[in-house]
């Protein structure tokens, strides 16, 4: 993976190969878990970074649940390499990995991602057909069992925010739900999107504040301050409903309600000129600055066990 070009966008097959190479190069730290299959049968790969032990407390990171947000999958690939490179060199990451595991799902919506490369660059949803409709796919970030079906999600299969027929109807979502429940010891959950430059915490489906709001807010401030220290990129932060809009059935609302206190979602860099077509030369700067915020969240999780 030293020769992998992190400064350009890659197809799903290239990312799958990268994952296998990383595992082969780091057999004592990295393993690949297939937590399920997408609707079209693609593996839902999760990289596990672990230095030993069983069922250690863990941190979950996923990228690319909305397929067209290419900078997220590209950043996830960079994070994977960063973790193996920095272990043993960066004291903070080393301390975390000596006590905790990190799970990283780089392509959370593989059917959609493949579709963006082959058929429709602007595709966001999954690729499961909807009976009775010509429109395909479900917004996997409206499909979680957290205020499912409430305001801020669409009941129309043709909408970009279609919630699906029922919570967890999408295997891409259900597979994570099953994994999180069966693991039972995940302490932080970070879901990464692009592009609005925001760091958000629960809730999206209700105006009720999360019971840990004060701590989550302070940690978000620390994370975006660290992020901005590299290139000055400015982020907004707060709860989903107060910072963007009401959204029901979202990922981190469900994880928070499962008891995962440090639940956050990112919206990565926005040049204000290109939208989802972020130039490839922005990938590494985006990944580098985001890593600083991720480290702030992971370090806080490590130092504040619960």
Partner 1 sequence: KKTFEGDQVLRIIPKDEVELSLVKDLEDMIEFELDFWKDAADVDTPVHIRVPFHGLQSTKMYLESQGIDYSIMIEDLQAMLDEEQEEMDSAARVADPRN
Among 196, 213, 225, 258, binds partner 1 (CB under 8 A): 196
Q: How far is the C-alpha of 30 from the C-alpha of 275, rounded, in Å?
A: 33
Q: Print the binding letters for residues 106-125 with partner 1: x by CB under 8 A, - otherwise.
A: ------------xxxxx---
Range 6-45, binding partner 1 (CB under 8 A): 8-9
DSSP output for 192-246? EEESS-EEEES-SS-SSPPTTHHHHHHHHHHHHHHHHHHH----EEEEHHHHT--
Question: Which candidate, 161, 150, 152, places its Cα nearest to that of 125?
Answer: 161
- Between 196 and 225, name the residue whose CB sits nearer to partner 1: 196
Query: In the annotation, is 267 catalytic?
Result: yes
Q: How far is the C-alpha of 299 from the C-alpha of 46, rounded, in Å?
A: 21
273 near partner 1, rule: CB under 8 A: yes
234 near partner 1, rule: CB under 8 A: no
280 near partner 1, rule: CB under 8 A: yes
Both tokens of residue 294? 């991720």
Q: Which stretch binds partner 1 (CB under 8 A): 81-89, 101-109, 168-176, 270-278?
A: 270-278
| Cβ at position 123, least distance to partner 1 in Å | 9
β-bridge pairing 262-268 and 186-194 = parallel
- Both ends of the chain: CA-CA distance in Å? 36
276 near partner 1, rule: CB under 8 A: yes
Both tokens of residue 202? 């629960």
Note whether 249 and 142 are within 8 A (CB): yes
Burial (CB count within 10 angstroms: exposed 0-12, middle 13-18, buried 19+), residue 234: exposed
277 near partner 1, rule: CB under 8 A: yes
155 near partner 1, rule: CB under 8 A: no
158 near partner 1, rule: CB under 8 A: yes
Note whether 232 and 46 are within 8 A (CB): no
Selecting among 69, 172, 267, 289, the annotated active-site residue is: 267
How many residues make contact with partner 1 (CB under 8 A)?
27
55 near partner 1, rule: CB under 8 A: no
274 near partner 1, rule: CB under 8 A: yes
| Cβ at position 273, least distance to partner 1 in Å | 7
| Cβ at position 172, least distance to partner 1 in Å | 21
95 near partner 1, rule: CB under 8 A: no
Cα three-residue angle 236-61-282, rounded to 5 degrees: 60
- Between 192 and 298, name the residue whose CB sits nearer to partner 1: 192
Among 90, 160, 178, 212, binds partner 1 (CB under 8 A): 160
Question: Which candidate, 306, 305, 303, places its Cα nearest to that of 92?
Answer: 303
Residue 257 phi, psi (nearest 5): -70, -15
| Cβ at position 21, least distance to partner 1 in Å | 10
Q: Beta partners for 268?
A: 194
Query: Where does this chain bind partner 1 (CB under 8 A)?
Result: 3-5, 8-9, 118-122, 156, 158, 160, 195-196, 243-245, 270, 272-277, 279-280
- Catalytic center residues: 267
């Amino acid at each position: 993976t030293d020769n992998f070009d992190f400064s350009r966008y890659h197809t799903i097959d290239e990312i799958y190969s990268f994952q296998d190479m990383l595992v082969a190069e780091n057999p004592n730290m990295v393993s690949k878990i297939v937590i399920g299959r997408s609707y079209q049968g693609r593996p839902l790969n999760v990289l596990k970074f672990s230095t030993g032990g069983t069922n250690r407390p863990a941190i979950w990171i996923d990228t690319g649940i909305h397929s067209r947000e290419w900078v997220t999958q590209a950043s996830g690939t960079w994070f994977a390499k960063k973790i193996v490179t920095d272990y043993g060199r960066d004291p903070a990451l080393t301390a975390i990995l000596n006590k905790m595991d990190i799970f990283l799902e780089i392509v959370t919506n593989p059917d959609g991602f493949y579709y963006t490369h082959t058929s429709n660059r602007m595709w966001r949803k999954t690729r499961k057909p909807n009976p009775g409709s010509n429109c395909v796919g479900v917004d996997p970030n409206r499909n979680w069992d957290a205020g499912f079906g409430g305001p801020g999600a669409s009941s129309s299969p043709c909408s970009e925010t279609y919630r699906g027929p029922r919570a967890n109807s999408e295997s891409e979502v259900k597979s994570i739900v099953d994994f999180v429940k069966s693991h039972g010891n995940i302490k932080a959950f970070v879901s990464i999107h692009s592009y609005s430059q925001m760091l958000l915490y629960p809730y999206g489906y209700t105006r009720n504040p999360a019971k840990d709001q004060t701590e989550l807010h302070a940690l978000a401030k620390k994370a975006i301050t660290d992020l901005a220290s590299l290139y000055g990129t400015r982020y907004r932060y707060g709860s989903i409903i107060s910072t963007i809009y009401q959204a029901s059935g979202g990922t981190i609302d469900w994880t928070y309600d499962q008891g995962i206190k440090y639940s956050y979602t990112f919206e990565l860099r926005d040049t204000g000129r290109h939208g989802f077509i972020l130039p490839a030369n922005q990938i590494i700067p985006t990944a580098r600055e985001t890593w600083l915020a991720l480290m702030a969240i992971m370090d806080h999780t490590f130092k504040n066990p619960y």
